[in-house]
Structure formats: C-alpha cells, structure tokens
Structure 1
Amino acid sequence: MAVYFHEEDLPEGVLAPGDIAVDTETMGLITARDRLCVVQLSDGGGDEHLVRFKVGSDYAAPNLKAVLADPSRTKLYHFGRFDLAAIEHYLGVMAAPVFCTKIASKLVRTYTDRHGLKILVDELLGESISKQQQSSDWGADEITEAQRDYAASDVRYLHRMRVILVERLAREGRTEMAQACFDFLPTRARLDLAGWADHDIFSHM
C-alpha cells in the first residue's frame, strides 16, 4: 500500500479500470470562498493518489477530469454532497454516478445517529483512522506526511465499506431508495452551489 502525491493533475493510467473512491480537501466549508486544495482517489487496489492544487491554479487537470467525468465509473464518497459541489465548482465536471457511504449508513444504521467515517470504519471494518489533520491548513506550500496519510485514509476504506452497506441495504429492502438518493446527489450539490444550501425546497415553508 502506498500514497502517491501529484501536482496539478493525475498521471495517465495510474488507476485500474472500475469504480473509484473520491474525496476532497478544501480551505473550508464554503465552496465558492474556500478553494479546492486536494483531490484524493483510490481504485480499491491498495494505493491512494492525491492531486494537489496550489494557490492560483487554473485547475486544468485533463487526466483527473476525464476520470471524474467518466460515466462508466461509479464514484464512492463519504458525504458526496460536499465533494460533488467542490469538484464541479473548481474542476467544472460532475463526478457521477455516485455511491455515498454516509447516505447508505443513514438508511441502514438507524439504530444510531453517528455516521461519521471514523465510526463506520471502526464498526464495519474493525479498523481505526485518525481525524487529527481534518482541520489543518490544506493550502500550505508543503503538505506534511501526516496530512497525506489523513487524506489517503478518507478514500482507503470506501470500496470495502460499500460491499457491506450494499448487503445491508438489500437486507432492509432499501436498495432502490438508496439508489434514488444517489441519483439525486448531483442535483443536490448544484442546488447548494446555486444558493439553496440551507433551504429545503421540498418543505411547506
């Protein structure tokens, strides 16, 4: 298992065919204000690839965009709503189709209100991850080894977790409902970008 660090784009051909786990690191939680700094990817084979964008980047990244926009590859996320919005805003592509482990968890782990990645990795896989670098400066000139390992851990477990969550969705009869949620996520991300992040357009009010 290795973590590969790339500047401004993903090298061609480094990912195996098939579905990929995706995550992002930004300068904060307001997409239009807080720039995209890192995109993490894993094909589930044991390696992770981090693509870093420095301040002033034009986000050209043709290889990365081609992978993210590929409709034959499902992208695995944990809270994909945020990542989809960040990727579309800065890279100009909608990184779908989608499987979101957080949505799947909320549909099948109704015995708890704890659906964070750390909790899921512990419960479903029996492994531990550190969230110590979650709020670190991703826009710094140098990304530390601790930051790199943290970023890689955000995509390292998603393929294995999806297998378990797919089984539980089927067991509870919620596969179709989950798929409908995944299909809607790109639209939900676009609503966030368009100004409806904090308003439920389906509500009566």
Structure 2
Amino acid sequence: MAIFFHEEDLPEGVLADGAIAVDTETMGLITGRDRLCIVQISDGGGDEHLVRFGPDSSYDAPVLKAVLADPARTKLYHFARFDLAAIEHYLGVTAAPVFCTKIASKLVRTYTDRHGLKNLVEELLGVSLSKAQQSSDWGGPDISDAQREYAASDVRHLHRLRDELQRRLEREGRSEIAQACFDFLPTRARLDIAGWAEQDIFSHA
C-alpha cells in the first residue's frame, strides 16, 4: 500500500478498472472563492493517488478529467455534493455516476446523527481515522507527510464502506431511493455553484 503524489495530472494507467473513490481538498468551503488544491483517487486496491494543483493552475488535466468523467466508473464519495461542485467548477467535468457514503449513512443509520467519515469508518470497519489535518493549508508550496496521509485516508476506506452500506440499503428496502438521491447530486452541485447553496427551492416558502 502506497501514497503517490502527482503534480497537475494523473499518470496514465495507474488505476484498475471499476469504481473509484474520490475526494478533494480546497482552500475553504466556498467553491467559487476557495480554489481546488488536491484531488485524491483510489481504485480500492490499496494505493492512493493525490493530484495537486498550484495557485496558477489552468486545471488542464486530461487524464484525470477522463477518469472522472468516465460514465462506466462509479465515483465513491463522502459528501459528494461538495466534491462534485469543486470538480465541476475547476476541472469542468461532471464526476458521475455517484455513490455517496454520507447520504447512504443518513438513509440507513437512522439511529444516530453522526454521519461523518470518521464515525462511519470507526463503526462499520473498526478503523480509527485522524482528522488533525482537516483544516490545514492545502495551498502551500509543500504538503507534509501528515497532510498526505490525511488526504489518502479520505479515499482509502470508501470501497469497503460502499459495500457495507449497500447491504444495509438493501436490507432496509432503501436502495431505490438512495440511487435517486445519488443521481440528483450532480444537479444539486450545479445549484450550489449557481447560487442556490443555502436555499431549498423545493420548499413552499
């Protein structure tokens, strides 16, 4: 198992076929203001790939974009809504189809309000994650080993989480509604980008 660090694009041929786990690190939580710094990807085989973009990046990453936009690959996220918006805004691709472990958790773990990745990995997989680097500076000239490990850990467990959450969705008869939510997420991300992040356009108000 290894963490690979790349500048500005993903090398050709480093991922196996099938679903890929995806996450992003940005300068903050406002997509249009806070630039995309890192995209993390794992094919579930044990390695994680981190692609870093500099402050003057053109985000011209043809290999990464092709992988993210591939309709034959399901993309596994935790809180897909944010990552989809960042990827679409900066890389110009819709990184779908989607499986979101946070949404799946909210649909089947109705006995708790703790749906963070750390909570999920600890309960379902028995693994403890460190979140110490969550709020660190991802846009600096150097990315520390601790930051690299944190970024990699955000995609390391998503394949196993997906498998367990799929079993629970099927058990509770909620697979269909979960899929409908996943299918809507790219549109939800576009609404966020377009200015409707805080408004519920489906409400009566």
* TM superposition score normalised by structure 1: 1.00
Q: State the distance in 1 between where 2:121 and 2:180 align.
A: 24
4+ runs deviating over 2 angstroms: none
Alignment of 1:140-159 (within 5 A): 140-159=140-159
What does residue 9 of structure 1 align with? 9
2:37 aligned partner, one-letter code = C
Q: Name the residue aligned to 1:164.
A: 164
Which letter does structure 2 place at the counterpart of 1:170? E
Write the distance in 2 (CA, Å) between the matches of 1:108 and 1:173: 10
Partner residue of 2:118?
118
Query: 1:95-123 CA distances to partner (integer Å, 9 max, x unpaired)?
Result: 00000000000000000000000000000
Map of 1:194 onto structure 2: 194
**Which residue of the partner structure matches residue 50 of structure 1?**
50
Letter in 1 for 2:18: G
Q: What is the CA–CA distance in structure 1 between the aligned matches of 2:14 and 2:26, rounded to whole Å?
A: 24
Deviation at 1:172, TM superposition (A): 0.3
Deviations 1:161-187 (A, max 9, x none): 000000000000000000000000000
Show the 5 A alignment for 1:56-135.
56-135=56-135
Secondary structure of the residue aligned to 2:193 is: helix
Deviation of the 1:37 alpha carbon: 0.1
Say whether 1:21 aligns with 2:21. yes
After superposition, what is the alpha-carbon deviation per residue over 1:143-173, rounded to whole angstroms, capped at 9, x for unaligned? 0000000000000000000000000000000
SS at match of 1:196: coil
2: distance between equivalents of 1:144 and 1:6? 14
User: CA separation in 2, counterparts of 1:142 and 1:148?
Assistant: 10
Deviation at 1:17, TM superposition (A): 0.6
How far does residue 54 in structure 1 lie from its aligned partner after superposition? 0.6
Query: Quick one: distance in 1 between partners of 2:53 and 2:14?
Result: 18
Unaligned runs of 5+ in 1: none
In 1, Cα distance between the equivalents of 2:94 and 2:110? 30
Task: Name the aligned partner's letter for residue 199 of structure 1.
Answer: Q
Name the residue aligned to 2:35. Answer: 35
Amino acid at match of 1:54: G
Instruction: State the 1:9 CA deviation.
Output: 0.2
The residue type paired with residue 48 of structure 2 is: E
The amino acid of 1:57's aligned partner reads S
Q: Look up the SS of the partner of 1:21 in the other structure.
A: strand
Q: Name the SS of the counterpart of 2:187 in structure 1.
A: helix
Give the secondary structure class of the aligned counterpart of 1:5: strand
Partner of 2:178: 178
Q: How far has the Cα of 1:36 moved from its partner? A: 0.1
State the alpha-carbon separation in 2 of the partners of residues 55 and 172 from structure 1.
Answer: 46
In 2, distance between residues paired with 1:163 and 1:85?
Answer: 25
1:20: Cα distance to partner?
Answer: 0.1
Alpha-carbon distance between aligned partners in 2 of 1:161 and 1:167, rounded to the nearest angstrom:
10
